[in-house]
Amino acid sequence: MSNTPDVSDRDRRAAALASHLAKGVRDGDVAAADALRVLRHELRRRNTNSKLRIERRSKAAQQVIDDYASRGESPPKNGSPDALHADHCHEINTETLQQFVSPEQWIVELDRLREVVCVTAAENYRLMSAEKSGLWGHEKYERAGIEFVSGN
């Protein structure tokens, strides 16, 4: 794998794993659903307990942060429409596994796939509807009526 200095060892390992999983799918040795489950888990775990550090936030997420901070509380973690969520902007799917081959390609693609925005759980439900209709990328936020206050 290349020795690009601005790529962490963690990112190199993730790219190597993605490359091997994708090869397994292409060779018929790994079910695409299993490879995608592993890769989605890798993408999600990067944002566990870090929603407050995500720079790009919806107006609603910022309002939740401000409201709870004014009471000296943290936003709820789950089970509330006010819970914060790290929403992935881009989809990873079977075509992704077919398109990207080398670890170097996966370094770039995983960096793109890690793009997240901070939204509320209520907003996330609207986004899930857009995703189910096949809409991804920044257009899904427009469709869901989500406006951003930071990190644009």
pTM: 0.85
Residue 65 falls within a domain, yes or no? yes
Q: What is the 3-state secondary structure (H, E, C) of 54-72?
A: CCCEEHHHHHHHHHHHHCC
Confidence band for 61, pLDDT divided at 50, 70 and 90: very high
Residue 4 falls within a domain, yes or no? no
Indicate the DSSP class of residue 137. T
Residue 2 falls within a domain, yes or no? no
Residue 62 falls within a domain, yes or no? yes
pLDDT given at position 77: 85
Residue 100 falls within a domain, yes or no? yes
Residue 91 falls within a domain, yes or no? yes
Residue 146 falls within a domain, yes or no? yes
The count of structural domains within the chain is 1
pLDDT given at position 3: 52
Span between the terminal Cα atoms of the chain, in Å:
33
Place of tokens 């290349």: 2
Q: Where are the beta strands (DSSP E) in the chain?
A: 57-58, 84-88, 116-120, 148-150
Each residue's pLDDT tens digit, 93-123 = 999 999 999 999 999 999 999 999 999 999 9
Each residue's pLDDT tens digit, 7-56 = 999 999 999 999 999 999 999 999 999 999 999 999 998 877 788 899 99
- As a whole number of angstroms, the distance between CA 22 and CA 101 comes to 7
* Residue span of the structural domain in which 69 resides: 9-150
Which has more pLDDT, 49 or 68?
68
- As a whole number of angstroms, the distance between CA 141 and CA 77 comes to 22
pLDDT given at position 6: 86
